[in-house]
Amino acid sequence: MNLAEIALRPGKDPARAGHPAFRAAAGAVSNAAFQRMVAALIADLAQLGVKPGEKIVFRMTNSAEFAAAFLACVWLGAIPVLQNSQLGQSELAHIVGLSEPTLFLLADDMRDDPATAGLLPGVRRMIVTAAGLIEHGARPNSQPVRPRESGNEQLPDCFDAKPDTPAFIVFTSGTTGKPKGVVHAHRWLEALGDSNRARVPPQPGDVILATGEWSFISALGHNVLFPLRNGTTGSIMEDRAAPERILATIERDRVTLLHSVATLYRRILAMPGIERRHDLSSLRGANSTGEPLEDSVRKEWRARFGCPIWEHYGISEAQMVIGDGPGIPKKEGSTGKTWGARAAILDENLNALLAGDAGTLAFGADYPGFFLGYLGDEATTRATLRGGFFVTSDLARMDGDGYVFIMGRADDCFKSKGVLIAPRELEDAILGLGNVAEACVFPIPDSEIGNRIGAALVLRAGSAGAPTDKVTLASALAGRIAPFKLPHRVVVLPQLPKNANGKTQRSQVARLALAQ
C-alpha cells in the first residue's frame, strides 16, 4: 500500500476535518486544509508530467507545504530526495549527482538559494506554496501551474505501490565520509509507525514536536508521518533549534511530546531557571536520540521539568530501533530494548556473543523497516547487509533481560594501557558532577601507552568550583570512575562542534583541544 495513503487516511475522516494536522506560528492547519493542499500539489505535479520512479530533490525547511509536497510526490509514485537545507553547493552537487532528479522543489524563502545555481540547469525548479506549485522565476503573485477550478480538490487514485517499492531517500550526516543516500520503501511507515506507537502510545490531543529538520528521518517520522498516521498533531518550530525557541514552541502549541537530541537537552539544562520562563505544563514526556544520553542529564531533567526523558537509538537506515519508554523500566546506562528489529551483539565473524559481552551491534535484516540499500553504492550495501544482519559501526553489549548498552562508535572507543575506554562512560561521570554542560572524551595517540585520555569540557554558566584541569577533574571524579580511566589532559572550550544532526564531532573536538 502507498505510504502517502496510509499517512493521509486518518485525516480524511469527516469527524476530524477541523482537527489540526499541524500547528505553527501562523496558526493551525486543519486536516481538511492539509488534504486540500496535498490534492492541489498532486494535481500540479501530474500536470508537470511527474511519473512513478522519478526522483525529486527537496530544498525546503519545515512547513506544512514541505509535508504536503512530500506526500504528493509519494502519492504519484515519485521519490522525494531529502537533504539538509543548510548544505552548500558542493555538498548538494554530490546528492544531485547520485539521484539525477527530474525536478527541484524549493521553499518560497529559498527561491534565490545560491546552492542550486548552476546545478542541472535543464531541470525545472518549482516553488511550493499552500495554493500549489509556481514556476521558479515567475512574476510575483503568479498563479500555480494549473488553474484552480474550486477550493475543494479531491485526491485522485494513488500509485499502487508494492511494499518494497522505493518511496523516499534520506541522506546520512556524512560524519565518516560523503553522505550516503538511504533508499526507503513504502513498507517503512507501517513498520516504524507500529514500533513507535508501541513504544510511546499516542493519547488523544497529543501535539508532537521534533526539533530537527524533516530532511532527517527521525524528525520526518516523529513530527510528520507518525502524527498524521496516528491522527494526532505535529508542531512546526520555525528556524533552527535553540533552547529558548524549543521551549517557546512547546508553550505556544501546548506540545505534549518532545523529540530532540541529547546535545539540546544538555544545553537547555545549562541555562539556570530556564524552565521557569515558559509554561511547559502540557509536556508529558521527552525523547532523546542522536547520541547516548547520560543518566545524570535524564535525572536533572525530571527534577526540573517534571516529566521523563525516554531515550532511543536510531539509524538513518531504519529510524528508532532501540529505546525505553513509559512501559519499559529504566536501567541506568542502557538505551532500552529493541522495537520491531531483532538486536544481536556479534564478533568479527558475525557470531553471536554471550549476554554481557561487548561486540558489534547488529540487527536482523528481515525487519521490514530497514532500507532497501544505499543509492548507487552496491558495495557498501553488501558490506552493511550481510549474513542476514544489518551490521552497525557501534559497539554495545546486551544483558540477559534484553537491555542494550551502547558503548559508542567502534572508531570512538580506544585503548589506553591496554584497557578499552568507552567515552560515554567517562562523559556520563563528568556530567554527573553538575557543573559541566557538555563533555567530550577523545584519544591522544601515545607511543608508550597506546593512547592518553583527553577530555574537552564546556562549563555551565555561573558554576562555581567546576573542574578546569586534570588535577581538579581527577579530584572531583574520585570514587566515581576507576583511576586508570581518568583523563590525562583536560581543556575547557566555549562550545563543542556539532554536525547537522546535533551530534558532537569528536575528531574536531580533539583537533581544537590539542591546538590549545
> Max alpha carbon distance in the chain (Å)?
78
Beta bridge partners of 58: 105
Looking at domain 27-186, does it have CATH number 3.40.50.300? no
Per CATH, the architecture of 191-409 is what? 3-Layer(aba) Sandwich (3.40)
The CATH-assigned architecture of domain 414-515 is: 2-Layer Sandwich (3.30)
What torsion do the CA atoms of 426, 331, 322, 225 make, to the nearest 10 degrees? Answer: -110
* pTM (two decimals): 0.85
Helix (H, G, I), strand (E, B) or coil at 379: helix
Q: How far is the C-alpha of 71 from the C-alpha of 245, rounded, in Å?
A: 27
Rounded-to-10 torsion of CA 336, 342, 348, 354? 70
Determine if residue 119 is left, alpha or beta; phi over 0 gives left, psi from -120 to 50 gives alpha, anything else beta: beta
Q: Band of the pLDDT at 152, cuts 50, 70, 90?
A: low
Cell numbers for 218: 527521525
**CA nearest 492: which of 463, 76, 281?**
463
> Is it the case that residue 334 has pLDDT exceeding 90?
yes
One-letter identity of residue 361: L
3-state secondary structure 120-142: CCCCEEEEEECCEEEECCCCCCC
Looking only at the bridges linking them, the beta strands covering 166-171 and 132-135 are: unpaired
pLDDT digits 0-9 by tens, 7-46: 999 999 999 999 999 999 999 999 999 999 999 999 999 9
Euclidean distance between CA atoms 490 and 469, whole angstroms: 5
Helix axes 31-47, 64-75, angle to 10 degrees: 50
Residue 170 scores a pLDDT above 90: yes
Q: What is the pLDDT of residue 239?
A: 86
pLDDT at 151 over 70: no
**Grid coordinates representing 243?**
533552547
Closest residue by Cα to residue 184 from 164, 159, 162: 164
Helix pair 423-431, 295-305: axis angle to 10 deg? 30
The tens digit of pLDDT for each residue in 478-504 reads 878 888 889 999 999 999 988 776 778
DSSP string for residues in 440-474: EEEEEEETTTEEEEEEEEEEPTT-SS---SHHHHH
CA distance 158 to 130: 20
- Domain-by-domain residue ranges, the chain? 27-186, 191-409, 414-515
Asked whether the domain spanning 191-409 has the same topology as the one spanning 27-186, the reply is yes
In this predicted structure, what is the pLDDT of residue 446?
A: 81
The H or E element that residue 258 is part of is strand 257-261
Whole-number Å distance between alpha carbons of 346 and 331: 22
Residue 98: Cβ-neighbour burial (10 angstroms; 0-12, 13-18, 19+): buried
